Amino acid sequence: MESYPPILRHSQHHHPQDSVDLIHEESDPLPVIDLQSLTQDMNMNKLFEEACKHWGLFRLVNHGVPSTLLTQLQDQAKQLFSLSFESKQALCSTANPVTYFWGTPALSPSGTALTKASQRINRVEGFNIPLCKLSQFQSQLPQLHSFRLLLLEYGECLSRIATTLFQVMVKNLDLNLQPSSSYMAENTGMLRVYRYPNCSNSNVGLGMEVHTDSSVLSILNQENEVSGLEVLKDHRWLTVKPISNTLIVNLGDMMQAISDDKYKSVTHRVKLNNHKERISVCYFVFPEEDHEIKSSKYRPFTYSEFRAQVQQDTKTIGYKVGLPRFEHT
């Protein structure tokens, strides 16, 4: 219990180890995209296009990330989160680029007093890791050195995947983006490692409140057997099942704007699991900070302007408004 931030400790309830939420046998509702055949198979490309338009989310298979790397990431993340709350705070000093957050979205400062407008607590703790600065991360703990090496390898894999997916989307949308690298800049890539406590009381709240991502793309590695992620589809919440050796890709607000609203930034949330804590690792990539995004649906804006508006709204009214703030008046 001491490993959790104080604000989250009352959320956790222990259960017998053999009492685990089992994966249900019903068919998985998500579109499944095979990355290896995406650029050569017209039927797969058509399925990909439909997923981007109508789901904003899909399951990725044959993605080329070694299964051993996915497993090692989860194991190392568990070790990191098992450290005491105070130790985790100390790891992320001002000298290190990695930040530690809890109780609020990663875009909001943690450990500060919540305004009256934002009393909702997200039952989550996590680390925000900018990949381009990860080599600067210093620690005396040997397990963190090995975790840093794993994160660097994983970041390279996910950057490759994100670039491939974005190039296919640009081609399908017939966009003339010059230069296209400014819309999805490799140096903006970051990883967020999340831990959600288990809790049998559904009245406690959500692990992560209902939201859309601000990114171009987000790519998620879920822990096996522990569900929690839900997506809103046709006014219904659907559980995104954790399935071994698959990744979950969702489109963010920046991709919706770049596509002129042809593609969808998916609305999602995280519910707490009844019996087991949940750990997930998500990769996010964004446009260059000052690159202007133009769309017939929105007034021109940069990602830095968008992020500042999200932070302001979260602080003053308690939630993210997002793209509607930039719609033409």
Q: Determine the pLDDT at residue 186.
A: 87
**Spacing of C-alpha 58 from chain mean position:** 14
- Is 145 a domain residue? yes
Most confident of 87-96, 127-136, 149-158, 177-186: 149-158
Q: Are 291 and 217 in contact (CB under 8 A)?
A: no
Q: Are 283 and 162 in contact (CB under 8 A)?
A: yes
Q: Which domain holds residue 110?
A: 6-297
Residue 19: pLDDT over 50: no
Which conformational region is residue 71 in: left (phi greater than 0), alpha (psi within -120 to 50 degrees), or beta? Answer: alpha
- Is 93 a domain residue? yes
Mean pLDDT check: name the lowest of 18-27, 165-174, 175-184, 259-268: 18-27
Give the span between the Cα atoms of 113 and 122, in whole angstroms.
14
Residue 176: pLDDT over 60: yes
Q: Determine the pLDDT at residue 291.
A: 93
Residue 48: pLDDT over 90: yes
Q: Determine the pLDDT at residue 16.
A: 36
Q: Determine the pLDDT at residue 76.
A: 92
Query: pLDDT, tens digit, for every residue of 184-237?
Result: 998 999 999 999 998 877 677 899 999 999 999 999 998 778 889 999 999 999
Q: Determine the pLDDT at residue 139.
A: 65
- Is 155 a domain residue? yes
Q: Determine the pLDDT at residue 105.
A: 63
The yes-or-no answer on residue 148 being catalytic is no
Q: How confident is the model at residue 35 (pLDDT cuts 50, 70, 90)?
A: very high
Neighbours of 273 (CB within 10 A): 21
Residue 135: pLDDT over 60: yes
Residue 21: pLDDT over 60: no
Query: pLDDT, tens digit, for every residue of 282-303?
Result: 999 999 999 999 999 999 999 9
- Percent of the chain having pLDDT more than 70? 86
Which residue, among 61, 53, 55, has the nearest Cα to 32 in the 3D structure?
61
Which residue, among 85, 54, 78, 63, has the nearest Cα to 265 in the 3D structure?
54
Q: How confident is the model at residue 15 (pLDDT cuts 50, 70, 90)?
A: very low
| Distance spanning both ends of the chain, measured CA to CA | 50
Catalytic residue, from 59, 123, 195, 278: name it: 278
- Is 177 a domain residue? yes
Mean pLDDT estimate for the chain: 86
> Span 153-168, mean pLDDT?
96
Question: How many domains in the chain?
Answer: 1
CA angle, 302 then 318 then 306, to 5° = 0
Residue 65: pLDDT over 90: yes
- Is 316 a domain residue? no
Give the span between the Cα atoms of 6 and 2, in whole angstroms.
8
Helix (H) or strand (E) holding 249: strand 247-251
Give the span between the Cα atoms of 320 and 284, in whole angstroms.
17
Q: Determine the pLDDT at residue 26.
A: 45
CATH number at residue 86: 2.60.120.330
Q: Determine the pLDDT at residue 106.
A: 60
Higher pLDDT among residues 224 and 23, named by residue: 224
Query: pLDDT, tens digit, for every residue of 75-126?
Result: 999 999 999 999 888 887 666 788 889 987 665 544 444 444 445 788 999 9
- Is 84 a domain residue? yes
